[in-house]
């Protein structure tokens, strides 16, 4: 297992690499070229500069999150092949710089969605929260504008301002796209990039939809274990895998995350671990990583990952905003560092139990 930390890069992420280096057990950074819009080919020299910057801080560039997929590919427009070529160029640039893990998602228009970016909790922290009724009460443009207004001046992943200007137009693209079409478009994309992934040994890790159900009437297809498995079977290449995101899958109160992990064993290339607290039908808020603070059994999740043979990159996911920190909602240093300390403890315990033959 390689413990990592997501970092958005200079000018975007207020957390210095030197601070990340001091979190016990963190070896890797999950980086990105945040300023490049979906569809732009990544230049190799930019990837190299990022890698060198991370290495100069005593860390390794363990993967990219995200190389975003252009909506023309997701919607299956005639110009998708041009955008797939650009995506392949980005993969080549990454492969040539020895980056072998890419996280992406296939959600139309929006990435993750929340109705509140700073919901106060009883402990004085704030967290990201979701309430379906609140989302149903606004139109997508208003939702986008509200997220921007509440972002504290930070650009949030998946909510880049250039997309805001085009929300209406983006919705139009998906008028004829139902879930089956979206899945076909995903399969078409994955098949087209696999030869390049094979050439460089790049593991693709699709991220589940968050929340794991359709939002604003748009189709969503990466919403649970069976659907992920269906995609993995359709493009049955070991490099075609998933990001196991406990918080996204766990947005559904009925998700059996240890069961999903067991069913996807061998194809989980990356893990995002965090807790979530279910507060009612279609409602949840984020929590500290500790099992007791939310609705997920983090011990069972870490144990299932270990027992599945998972040996890849793990990162803590969103944390609470605590101790007066000002940062990107969900992406503060303090609570994610606390999350790492806890996840490291869980991992050490399940690993030692496993070695002693006391489990599975």
Q: Which residue has the tokens 């949030």?
A: 156
Closest approach, Cβ 159 to ligand DNO, in A, equals 9
Choosing from 7, 87, 112, 310, the residue that interacts with ligand DNO (CB under 6 A) is: 112
Q: Cβ closer to ligand DNO: 97 or 210?
A: 210
CA distance to 13, 100, 148, 230, 240, per residue, from 153 (Å): 11, 32, 8, 39, 36
Sheet holding 276-280, edge to edge: 116-120, 126-131, 283-286, 276-280
Determine whether 19 is an active site residue. Answer: no
Residue 242 touching ligand DNO (CB under 6 A): no
Tell me whether residue 112 or residue 310 sits nearer to ligand DNO (CB atom): 112
CB-CB neighbours of 120 under 10 Å: 12
Give every CB contact of residue 105 below 8 A, 6+ residues apart in sequence. 66, 68, 69, 111, 158, 206, 207, 208, 209, 222
228 versus 350: smaller Cβ distance to ligand DNO:
228
| Helical residues (DSSP H) of the chain, grouped into ranges | 17-21, 44-56, 71-75, 80-96, 132-136, 140-149, 161-164, 167-173, 179-200, 225-234, 246-249, 257-263, 298-307, 333-355
Q: Does 284 bind ligand DNO (CB under 6 A)?
A: no
Q: How far is CA 243 from the centre of its chain?
A: 7
Cα first-last separation, the chain: 18
Which residue number, 220 or 272, has a Cβ lying nearer to ligand DNO?
272
Count of chain residues binding ligand DNO (CB under 6 A): 12
Active-site hit among 306, 318, 335, 342: 318
**Looking only at residues 17 through 56 of this chain, which bind ligand DNO when binding is defined by CB under 6 A?**
none
Answer yes or no whether residue 207 interacts with ligand DNO by CB under 6 A: yes
Other CB atoms within 10 A of residue 77 CB: 16
Site string for ligand DNO, 55-74 (x = CB under 6 A): ----------xx--------
Interface with ligand DNO (CB under 6 A), residue from 8, 87, 104, 306 = 104
Closer residue to ligand DNO (CB): 112 or 350: 112
- Reply yes or no on whether 317 is catalytic: yes
In terms of residues, how long is the chain? 360
Stretch that binds ligand DNO, among 105-113, 189-197, 261-269, 342-350 (CB under 6 A): 105-113
83 is catalytic: no
* Contacting ligand DNO within 138-177 (CB under 6 A): 157-158
Whole-angstrom distance, CA of residue 267 vs CA of residue 256: 17
269 assigned to active site: no
Active site residue 103: no
Work out which of 2, 44, 86, 111 binds ligand DNO, going by CB under 6 A.
Answer: 111
Could you please report the per-residue DSSP string of 88-135?
HHHHHHHHHTT--EEEE---SS-SS--SEEEEE-TTS-EEEEEEHHHH
Place of tokens 């189709």: 219
Which CB sits closer to ligand DNO, 31 or 140? Answer: 31
Q: Which are the contacts of 204, defined by CB distance < 8 A and separation ≥ 6? A: 102, 104, 190, 193, 197, 239, 240, 241, 269
Burial (CB count <10 Å: 0-12, 13-18, 19+), residue 245: buried
- C-beta of 109: minimal distance to ligand DNO in Å? 13
Please identify, among the stretches 44-52, 53-61, 101-109, 302-310, the one whose residues bind ligand DNO according to the rule CB under 6 A: 101-109
Is 4 labeled as catalytic in the residue annotation? no
Considering only 40-48, 103-111, 188-196, 258-266, which stretch makes contact with ligand DNO by CB under 6 A?
103-111
Contact 169, 61 (CB under 8 A): no
Which of 131, 197, 245, 278 is flagged as catalytic? 245
Interface with ligand DNO by CB under 6 A: which range of 102-110, 185-193, 291-299, 321-329? 102-110
Residue ranges that bind ligand DNO, judged by CB under 6 A: 65-66, 103-105, 111-112, 157-158, 207, 272, 330
Catalytic site residues? 207, 245, 272, 317-318, 331
């Amino acid at each position: 297992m390689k413990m990592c930390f997501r970092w958005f890069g200079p000018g975007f992420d207020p957390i210095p690499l030197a601070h990340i280096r001091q979190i016990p057990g963190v070896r890797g950074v999950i980086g990105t070229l945040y300023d490049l819009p979906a569809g732009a080919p990544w230049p190799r020299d930019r990837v190299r500069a990022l890698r060198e910057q991370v290495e100069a801080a005593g860390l390794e560039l363990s993967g990219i999150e995200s190389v975003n997929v252009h909506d023309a590919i997701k919607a299956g427009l005639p110009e998708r092949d041009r955008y797939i070529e650009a995506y392949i160029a980005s993969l080549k640039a990454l492969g040539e710089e020895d980056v072998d893990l890419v996280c992406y998602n296939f959600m139309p228009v929006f990435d993750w969605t929340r109705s509140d970016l700073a919901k106060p909790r009883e402990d004085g922290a704030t967290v990201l929260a979701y309430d379906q009724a609140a989302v149903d009460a606004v139109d997508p443009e208003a939702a986008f504008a509200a997220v921007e207004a509440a972002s504290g001046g930070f650009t949030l992943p998946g909510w880049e301002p250039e997309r805001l200007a085009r929300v209406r137009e983006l919705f139009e693209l998906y008028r004829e796209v139902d879930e089956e079409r979206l899945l076909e478009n995903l399969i078409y994309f994955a098949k087209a990039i696999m030869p390049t992934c094979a050439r460089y040994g790049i593991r693709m890790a699709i991220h589940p939809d968050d929340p794991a159900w359709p939002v604003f009437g748009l189709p969503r297809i990466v919403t649970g274990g069976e659907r992920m498995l269906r995609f993995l079977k359709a493009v049955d290449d070991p490099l075609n895998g998933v990001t196991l995101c406990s918080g996204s899958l766990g947005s559904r109160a009925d998700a059996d995350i240890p069961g999903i992990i067991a069913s996807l064993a061998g194809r989980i290339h990356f893990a995002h671990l965090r807790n979530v607290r279910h507060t009612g039908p279609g409602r949840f808020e984020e929590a500290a990583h500790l099992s007791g603070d939310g609705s997920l059994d983090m011990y069972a999740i870490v144990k299932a990952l270990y027992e599945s043979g998972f040996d890849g990159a793990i990162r803590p996911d969103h944390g609470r905003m605590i101790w007066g920190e000002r940062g990107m909602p969900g992406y503060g240093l303090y609570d994610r560092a606390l999350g790492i300390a806890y996840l490291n403890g869980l991992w050490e315990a399940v690993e030692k139990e496993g070695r002693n033959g006391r489990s599975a």
